[in-house]
Amino acid sequence: MVVLVTGANGQVGQSLQFIAPNYPDIQFVFCDSKVLDITNLNNIYHVFEQYKPNYCINAAAYTAVDKAESEPEEAQLINVNGAKNLAEICKEFKTVLLHISTDFVFDGTKKTPYTEDDIPNPTGVYGQTKLDGERAIQKIWHKHFIIRTSWVYSQFGYNFMKTMLRLASERDKLSVVNDQIGTPTNAVELAEVLVKIINENSKLNTEHFGIYNFSNEGQCSWYDFAKKIFECNQININLEPIPTTNFPTPAKRPGYSVLDKSKIKNTFGVDVKYWETSLKGS
């Protein structure tokens, strides 16, 4: 089985490279943007023609949430046009597409976990382009899995955990918002789930394509997350909780973005760990 991965140098791409040796039956083809540029249809076609993948995991994305507000064309090019291009080539090669999406497709006004059936209402450019990318895929190629996730962190790439650890080495006091609620997602566990979906889909006689939520279990604020990061790393720092109003950003963040994982658990038998457990093991 050939699984082609775009965005190989990102968090999810590197996490997939990390776990790939555990799956000798899968031939992974890892492509960074130099090898496969998802905004270039001809480039995608030639790479697919060379490897003829059974599955494609799209881990390439424009993820600079605040920067997207001033670079909407760039976000659109990668998150919408790129997703559309991949869907078209996947359809041509009959390749199943797994696409990573985000909790930012929601406005965060709910008080209970978001399900796959909740109506999206993004509040910024990043969330809107990710939603438009989802919709482009849905229109073009039915053999897709869209995985919405949140607060992704790992030892790889740029993320909140690594930022907190870096700042703690430079300062003795930090302020972190405590009124945005969500769930951290361990990128390596997300990678494992993507492979599980591929393996289960290859075995199942029925097709379960569509949108799925995945994050770790539980919920916390960014302040709680930071506190636990320092606790796990035995770092003593003066950590102060602050409201979002004290930390204005160009893009509005969802106030509540906890995702309901019932569908992915029931469909694929996914075992989801609590975020604190995953963080301790990371």
Structure tokens at 7: 């965005």
86 within a domain of the structure (yes/no): yes
Q: Which two tokens stand for residue 121?
A: 């209402």
Q: Does residue 171 form part of some domain?
A: no
Mean pLDDT by 10 residues, the chain (282 residues): 97 98 98 98 98 98 96 98 98 98 98 97 98 98 98 95 96 96 98 97 86 98 98 96 93 96 96 96 76
Total domains, the chain? 1
Q: Is residue 44 part of a domain?
A: yes
Q: 235: which residues sit within 8 A by CB, 6+ positions away?
A: 165, 168, 229
DSSP 274: B
Which residue type does 196 have? K
> What global pTM score does this model have?
0.96
Residue 249 counted as domain residue:
no
Indicate the pairing of strand 210-213 with strand 144-149: parallel
Handedness of CA 63, 67, 69, 70 (dihedral sign): negative
Residue 206 has what pLDDT? 76
Q: What is the pLDDT of residue 47?
A: 98
> What is the DSSP secondary structure assignment for residue 174, as one 8-state letter?
E
Distance CA 4, CA 115 (A): 28
Residue in the structure block whose two tokens are 């997939």: 16
* Beta partners for residue 177, in sequence order: 242
CATH of the domain at 10: 3.40.50.720
pLDDT of residue 204: 78
* Closest C-alpha among 137, 186, 136, 165 to residue 19: 186
- 50 belongs to a structural domain: yes
Residue type, 210: G
Long-range contact set of residues 121-128: C-beta below 8 Å, sequence gap at least 24: 123/251, 123/252, 123/254, 124/65, 124/68, 124/69, 124/251, 124/252, 125/68, 125/69, 125/72, 125/75, 125/251, 126/62, 126/63, 126/64, 126/65, 126/68, 126/69, 126/75, 126/79, 126/102, 126/251, 127/102
Cα–chain center distance at 236: 30
pLDDT for the residue numbered 60:
97
Catalytic annotation, pick one of 114, 126, 212, 223: 126
Give burial (CB, 10 Å; 0-12/13-18/19+) of 208. Answer: middle
Active site residue 126: yes
Distance CA(71)–CA(26), nearest Å, equals 37
- Structural domain range at position 14: 2-158+186-218+258-273
SS (H, E, C) 198-256: HHHHHHCCCCCCEEEECCCECCEEHHHHHHHHHHHCCCCCEEEEECHHHCCCCCCCCCE
Cross-strand bridge partners of residue 4: 29, 56
> Is 175 inside a domain boundary?
no
Residue 241 falls inside a structural domain: no
